[in-house]
Amino acid sequence: MSKRSWFISWVGKADHDCAEGLRGDDLGPVASAIKAHAPFDKICLLTNYEFDRTKAYCAWLEKTTGCVETDLFGVELSSPTNYAEIYEQVSRELKALRLPNDAIELTFHLSPGTPAMTAIWIILAKTRFPAKLIQTSKENGLESVDFIFDLANEYLPEFLQRSSERIERLSSATPTAPEFSKLIHRSPVMREQIQLAQKIAAHEVPVLILGETGTGKELFAEAIHAASRRTGKPFIAVNCGAMPKDLANSELFGHKKGAFTGADSARPGHFREAEGGTLFLDEIGDLPLDSQVRLLRALQQREITPLGESKPAKVNVRIIAATHRDLAKDVAEGRFREDLFHRLAVGILNLPPLRERDGDLDLLIDDLLDQINRDATETPEAQHKKLSQAARNLLVSHGWPGNIRELYHTLLRSAIWSSSATIEEADIQRSLLDVRKNNVGLLDRPLGKGFDLQELLDEISRHYIDRALQQSGHKKKRAAELLGFSNYQTLSNWAGRLGVGLDEKD
């Protein structure tokens, strides 16, 4: 299969001038290269000029060269000669385009932009995003550019080996930054995610946090914000799943007074509230498709248009999104926009469920119980609680489908219910049973210490016998039928063995 060819370039001053008729018949570097080359399948242009000005340039380019698929990306740079920033921003755009990709042949155009921009194309083409390099000039027209050195094969392996050894040494010793200290952990999987989050915090990129409910996604988002340059600025957390679908755009992007029926006063919207800081969009998978389009625009162009306004306004907000859903599946099934997914997933964190965090459970039990005891000091009648060994064993053998949130609430409930200073196994049992009614997690129990298959099967049996008794109004014969037993004697035998009382009603 032949590869698709993509042309990627900055749009420079000369290009804009040509489109604006300031340079006679001259086409400028981008249009000349596109005209002189065999047709590209896609043209990706980057601009640090005013977005609308370059958009007008794109319309001119399409008319002049007949090229069809042109994508424009607005890139904000504090200076067009800041190498580090150019490197970071361009890499981010290329990654968002899901590059490198074996099915795509890339061509970077070196001519437009500053010398720093040219240098970064060369570095990227020779390392992370293998690409052909071209340049255009009035004198020689289109030329391909080649270098005799191969940075990736000749120089980097040696350098990388040295640096990966260094990173390994550093990472085993890297202390957790204070902003992340609320995240109680001991397991290597969590340490890895925290170290990744610390690195991501330092970069101005969007973050996508994936994990089951109660795994600490919001706590991570808060820590990333606190460890970033935006600390001290607002951190606004919004649950997209809780927003009424028809109000999502106004809640996020704001509205003008009278923008729609019921808009009695103007509303700034969460983006403006988070100005300069971080907007945490929890349950991003629940965001309606039209709000996804607006969010993508806000991320690409860093501007929003409140409902009822005609002019977009600049915003400076970092997005951290989270979901417990399988977003890749939502993308495949058309519920979530693929382009938005890739925009968000620049920094991606995968929080493991509690049952996969080796060594964390004991630590969390102690820490959360300490917290519950500390909080209780304000309640005069509350006692300082400890756990009996049997109670701890029961906690350790549970699967925790609701993760840390479920663990915390189970401990809190049992601390309140236990009548003495020691929380006993029965107190935990009672607290757990309540939760299990909603969230069974029977297939997720950890094997090994405390696991007892017979006990688990008995638990299921008790549960269904209870339900059958309730549904039959405690009529033994009917309950036996509901359970698929051939007679009620079988039910009596099971109930006797499991210690379930059968209230005789017939």
Ligand X SMILES: Nc1ncnc2c1ncn2[C@@H]1O[C@H](COP(=O)(O)OP(=O)(O)OP(=O)(O)O)[C@@H](O)[C@H]1O
Least Å distance, CB 344 to ligand X, is 16
Q: At what angle do helices 28-36 and 51-65 cross, to 10 degrees?
A: 30
Distance between CA atoms of 453 and 450, rounded to whole angstroms? 10
Q: Count CB atoms within 10 A of the CB of residue 56.
A: 14
Nearer to ligand X, 124 or 190 (CB): 190
Nearer to ligand X, 55 or 186 (CB): 186
Nearer to ligand X, 86 or 183 (CB): 183
Q: Is 207 in the site for ligand X (CB under 6 A)?
A: no
Structure token pair of residue 21 = 């008729």
Q: Which of 16, 109, 217, 476 binds ligand X (CB under 6 A)?
A: 217
Residues in the chain: 506
Q: Which of 5, 176, 213, 393 binds ligand X (CB under 6 A)?
A: 213
Strands 104-109 and 4-10: parallel
Residues in Cβ contact with 60 at an 8 Å cutoff, skipping those fewer than 6 apart = 19
Q: Which of 92, 126, 318, 324 binds ligand X (CB under 6 A)?
A: 324
Q: Is 218 in the site for ligand X (CB under 6 A)?
A: yes
Q: Is 404 in the site for ligand X (CB under 6 A)?
A: yes
Q: Is 215 in the site for ligand X (CB under 6 A)?
A: yes
Nearer to ligand X, 186 or 463 (CB): 186
Binders of ligand X in range 167-206 (CB under 6 A): 183-185
Binding range to ligand X, per CB under 6 A, among 209-217, 418-426, 480-488, 493-501: 209-217
Q: Is 34 in the site for ligand X (CB under 6 A)?
A: no
**Rounded (5°) CA angle 255-260-263:** 60
Nearer to ligand X, 364 or 469 (CB): 364
Cα Rg of the chain (Å, integer): 30
Q: Is 284 in the site for ligand X (CB under 6 A)?
A: no
Binding range to ligand X, per CB under 6 A, among 22-30, 110-118, 207-215, 307-315: 207-215
Least Å distance, CB 414 to ligand X, is 17
Least Å distance, CB 213 to ligand X, is 4
Q: Which residue is nearest to ligand X (CB)?
A: 216
Q: Count CB atoms within 10 A of the CB of residue 78.
A: 8
Q: Evaluate whether 317 touches 274 at the Cβ level (below 8 Å).
A: yes
The 3-state secondary structure of 253-318, one letter per residue: HCECCCCCCCCCCCECHHHHHCCCCEEEEECHHHCCHHHHHHHHHHHHHCEECCECCCCCEECCCE
Site residues for ligand X per CB under 6 A: 183-185, 211, 213-219, 282, 324, 404-405, 408
